[in-house]
């Protein structure tokens, strides 16, 4: 009996030599240099803020916003023991690695590309086009807008978003106009003659900038609503519209996040920081009691749309 008691105390005080399991690893792939570096660094700040006090290794890769470099990075990540990847920011870079992550079974959270993903795709988006359309429709309904114009470029994602908006239960637009650069003068003339209260633009920053300049010069006094792709530094530097509202990614617990971010960094959070925070929050939830990429991927498919929403905000957030 004495021997058993002695053995118990030896094990209790000195423990055993069994190695502890290594901490889980997450890869963050964002541009830390190049034109989108401000967005990338904000994503990093948001992710690190959520990761505080967690026993998880975060490794950051700079893809410079380039597809070729992104492919090389994901080749490395897939071969190593990362459970999940966060990034990249641009749709161009994301599309470049979609076949790789599917083949390598690497669950990947898309940070800044919210286009609809295929069901068997291993990339998970935090937000969808349907949610973006819902934010626009909610604004038009709540503000009781009767006279509004829908101006769009002709592309696959633009058509999908338009379909969501048009099918919404609301007053139909007084104008639906498919625009290209050569059509700008005619479009401005039509907007002058119809005087809509709100112009909803669905398209890319270049045409949006030219259209907004034409609206200002033409003295058209209407609110201008754009999609998240207009959260573009070059676009925002080119235009100066008082009535500009952009669909902006927004955390559902936004108030708490903003307070934590300001206290930690002494800076206001950018929308990209909110995306980084939400993506890391989802990763931390997924990793608990799930030690395989496949299990994490299944969790993502169930939970990916629970963290964020689109809100119409003045440009600059």
pLDDT, tens digit, 9 for 90 and up, residues 177-189: 999 889 899 999 9
Please give the pLDDT value at position 186. 94
Query: For 120-149, what is the mean pLDDT?
Result: 89
Query: For 303-310, what is the mean pLDDT?
Result: 84
Please give the pLDDT value at position 53. 84
Please give the pLDDT value at position 168. 72
Of 82-91, 164-173, 207-216, the range with the lowest mean pLDDT is 164-173
Please give the pLDDT value at position 116. 65
- Can you tell me whether residue 306 is helix, strand or coil? coil
Please give the pLDDT value at position 19. 54
Please give the pLDDT value at position 11. 46
Query: For 53-71, what is the mean pLDDT?
Result: 94
Task: Please count the other Cβ atoms lying within 10 Å of the Cβ belonging to residue 137.
Answer: 18
Query: For 289-293, what is the mean pLDDT?
Result: 84
Q: Omega of the bond prior to 175 within 30 degrees of 0, cis?
A: no
Please give the pLDDT value at position 197. 94
Query: For 210-237, what is the mean pLDDT?
Result: 86
Q: What percent of the chain has pLDDT over 70?
A: 89
The CA distance from 67 to 74, in Å, is 11
Q: What percent of the chain has pLDDT over 90?
A: 51
Of residues 110 and 22, the one with the higher pLDDT is 110
Q: Which of 116, 62, 57, 107 is nearest to 89 (CA)?
A: 62
What is the sign, positive or negative, of the torsion defined by CA atoms of 188, 167, 128, 252? Answer: positive
- Burial (CB count within 10 angstroms: exposed 0-12, middle 13-18, buried 19+), residue 18: exposed
Residues 6+ apart with CB under 8 A from 212: 224, 239, 241, 244
Query: For 188-201, what is the mean pLDDT?
Result: 94
Any idea what DSSP says for residue 12?
H
Is the pLDDT reported for residue 26 higher than 80? yes
Q: Which of 12, 44, 39 is nearest to 28 (CA)?
A: 44
- Domains of the chain with bracketed CATH: 24-127+252-308 (3.40.50.2300), 129-249 (3.40.50.2300)
Query: For 266-276, what is the mean pLDDT?
Result: 91
Is the pLDDT reported for residue 17 higher than 60? no
Kindly report the backbone phi and psi dihedral angles of residue 57, in degrees, each rounded to the nearest multiple of 5, phi listed first.
Answer: -90, 125
Please, which pLDDT band fits residue 10 given cuts at 50, 70 and 90? very low
Query: C-alpha distances in angstroms, 297 versus 83, 117, 160?
Result: 10, 14, 26
Q: Find residue 151's DSSP bridge partners.
A: 177, 201
Please give the pLDDT value at position 147. 93
Please give the pLDDT value at position 304. 76
Please, which pLDDT band fits residue 16 given cuts at 50, 70 and 90? very low
- Average model confidence (pLDDT) across the chain: 86
Kindly report the backbone phi and psi dihedral angles of residue 91, in degrees, each rounded to the nearest multiple of 5, phi listed first.
Answer: -65, -35
pLDDT, tens digit, 9 for 90 and up, residues 30-48: 999 998 899 999 999 999 9
Please give the pLDDT value at position 305. 75
Strand-strand pairing, 175-178 and 308-314 = unpaired
Q: What angle do CA 176, 181, 182 make, to 5 degrees?
A: 95
CB 50 within 8 A of CB 261: no
């Amino acid at each position: 009996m004495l021997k058993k008691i002695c053995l118990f105390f030896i094990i209790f005080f000195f423990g055993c030599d069994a190695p502890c399991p290594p901490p889980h690893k997450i890869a963050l792939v964002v541009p830390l240099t190049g034109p989108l570096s401000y967005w990338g660094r904000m994503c990093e700040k948001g992710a690190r803020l959520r990761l505080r006090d967690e026993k998880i290794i975060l490794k950051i890769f700079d893809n410079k916003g380039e597809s070729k470099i992104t492919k090389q990075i994901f080749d490395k990540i897939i071969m190593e023991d990362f459970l999940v990847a966060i990034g990249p920011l641009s749709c161009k870079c994301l599309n470049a690695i979609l076949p790789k992550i599917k083949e390598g079974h690497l669950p990947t959270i898309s940070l800044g590309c919210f286009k609809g993903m295929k069901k068997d795709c291993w990339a998970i988006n935090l937000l969808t086009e349907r949610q973006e359309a819902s934010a626009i429709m909610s604004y038009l309904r709540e503000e009781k807008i009767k006279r509004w114009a829908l101006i769009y470029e002709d592309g696959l994602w633009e058509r999908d978003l338009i379909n969501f908006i048009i099918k919404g239960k609301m007053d139909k637009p007084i104008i639906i106009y498919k625009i290209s650069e050569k059509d700008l003068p005619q479009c401005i003339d039509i907007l002058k003659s119809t005087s809509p209260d709100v112009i909803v633009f669905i398209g890319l920053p270049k045409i949006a900038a030219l259209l907004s300049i034409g609206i200002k010069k033409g003295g058209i006094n209407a609110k201008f609503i754009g999609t998240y792709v207009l959260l573009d530094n070059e676009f925002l530097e080119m235009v100066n519209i008082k009535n500009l509202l952009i669909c902006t990614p927004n955390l559902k617990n936004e108030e708490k996040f903003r307070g934590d971010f300001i206290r930690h960094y002494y800076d206001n959070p950018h929308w990209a920081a909110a995306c980084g925070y939400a993506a890391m929050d989802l990763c931390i939830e997924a990793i608990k009691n799930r030690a395989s990429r496949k299990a994490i991927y299944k969790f993502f498919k169930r939970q990916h749309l629970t963290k964020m929403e689109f809100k119409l905000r003045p440009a600059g957030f």
